[in-house]
């Protein structure tokens, strides 16, 4: 009788065991879109982990560095039973579902911030997982980590990021998920009802611009005056500062704002200023960090539009003041609107 040498048997078993993690490795399916609310799908791929820094580049060659969204879907397998804490660091907004439960709901503008949610999982079971993410203006970043129930305490853990990246072996594409088990399918939306529109408005069908470009134009006071009494703000804007107003929690340019900018651009191109100053502001409603972010994005939106229209980046200087320089301290909402503004100055010196 011939006996297989022990080292050969050990090698064979070792190869089988090593092949299991390779078989289990998969990752999550990522659907990449133009627009901040999943307007136009560009590509689908498998991402082995969710840890991306797009500060200096776009996620895909087909995408620009701003105004895109991504949806990751798949399965998450729990290695042990107990409470799991999920940490997401993101710029700008995201939602995270695990096992049909919405753990993190931060669908708004934010600087690079950390959010967390917790859920009880059972060892050996798989759970549907979905991550919705959007990035508005430049600097897109997102990282997903977890803290397992059996994770050992680490010395000086407060100096490190909490938790650890989720190993790819515990993530699988959604090929084995039926439509009924897809995360978020019934969370917060009764059957047969229509989902509420996000404050980041969807563009109209066929639109190629950013989502706010198709919002209804604001009605200005000057627009209701007789033509002979309307101010000639376009010519005066060559040397006189002018202000653009924004809605609550919004950095979107309305059609009226775009027309205002484009009319001034005609004169700037005929008589180019030495440089143009763009200053963003916010009102004092809500969190001060969020207000500062809003003022930054308002500045960046205006600068981005001017750049697309041919103004050289070297001519543009932007800054944002948050809610530190209000024009109106009155609590009336109609008056506070004057604080949600961008001031534009052209300098010829």
Per-residue confidence in pLDDT tens, the chain, 349 aa: 444 444 433 333 333 333 333 334 489 999 999 988 898 999 999 999 999 999 888 999 999 888 899 999 999 999 999 999 999 999 888 999 999 899 999 888 777 788 999 999 999 999 999 999 999 887 889 999 999 998 776 654 555 678 889 999 899 998 644 343 444 433 333 333 333 333 333 334 443 333 333 333 333 333 344 444 443 444 444 457 888 888 888 888 888 888 888 888 888 888 888 889 999 999 888 888 888 888 888 888 888 888 888 888 888 888 888 888 888 876 677 777 888 889 898 888 6
Alpha carbons within 13 angstroms on the beta-carbon side of residue 52 total 23
Q: How deeply is 52 buried, as exposed, middle or buried, from its count of CB atoms within 10 A (0-12, 13-18, 19+)?
A: middle
Output phi, psi for 36, to 5 deg.
-85, -5
Q: What is the pTM of this model?
A: 0.53
Domain 24-177 has CATH 2.60.120.1560: yes
Matching CATH number, 211-347, of 3.30.70.360, 3.30.1330.60, 3.40.190.10, 3.40.50.720:
3.30.1330.60
Residue 135 is encoded by which pair of tokens? 């990035």
Task: Evaluate whether 24-177 and 211-347 have a shared fold.
Answer: no
Domain boundaries of the chain, sorted by first residue:
24-177, 211-347
- Give the H or E element holding residue 190: none
């Amino acid at each position: 009788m011939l006996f297989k040498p022990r080292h050969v048997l050990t090698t064979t078993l070792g190869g089988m065991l090593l092949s299991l993690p390779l078989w289990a490795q998969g990752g999550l399916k990522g659907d990449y879109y133009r627009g901040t609310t999943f307007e136009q799908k560009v590509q689908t791929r498998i991402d082995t982990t969710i840890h991306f820094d797009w500060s200096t580049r776009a996620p895909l060659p087909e995408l620009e560095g701003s105004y895109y969204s991504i949806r990751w879907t798949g399965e998450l397998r729990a290695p042990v039973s107990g409470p799991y804490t999920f940490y997401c660091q993101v710029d700008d907004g995201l939602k995270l579902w695990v096992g049909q439960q919405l753990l993190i709901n931060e669908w708004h503008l934010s600087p690079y911030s950390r959010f967390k949610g917790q859920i009880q999982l059972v060892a050996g079971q798989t759970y549907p997982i979905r991550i919705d993410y959007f990035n508005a203006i430049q600097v897109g970043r997102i990282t997903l980590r977890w803290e397992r129930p059996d994770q050992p305490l680490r010395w000086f853990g407060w100096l490190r990021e909490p938790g650890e990246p989720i190993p790819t072996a515990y993530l699988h594409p959604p090929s084995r998920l039926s439509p009924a088990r897809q995360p978020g399918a019934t969370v917060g939306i009764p059957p047969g009802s229509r989902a509420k529109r996000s404050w980041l408005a969807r563009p109209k069908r066929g639109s190629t611009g950013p989502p706010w470009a198709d919002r209804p134009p604001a009605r200005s006071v000057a627009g209701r005056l007789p033509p002979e009494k309307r101010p000639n703000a376009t010519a005066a804007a060559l040397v006189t500062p002018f202000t653009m107003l924004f809605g609550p929690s919004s950095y979107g340019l309305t059609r009226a704002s775009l027309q205002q900018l484009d009319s001034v651009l005609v004169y700037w191109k005929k008589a180019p200023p030495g440089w143009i100053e763009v200053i963003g502001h916010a009102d004092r409603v809500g969190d001060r960090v969020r207000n500062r972010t809003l003022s930054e994005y308002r500045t960046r939106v205006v600068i981005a539009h001017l750049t697309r229209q041919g103004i050289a980046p070297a001519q543009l200087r932007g800054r944002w003041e948050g809610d530190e320089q209000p024009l109106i301290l009155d609590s009336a909402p109609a008056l506070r609107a004057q604080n949600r503004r961008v001031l534009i100055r052209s300098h010829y010196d």
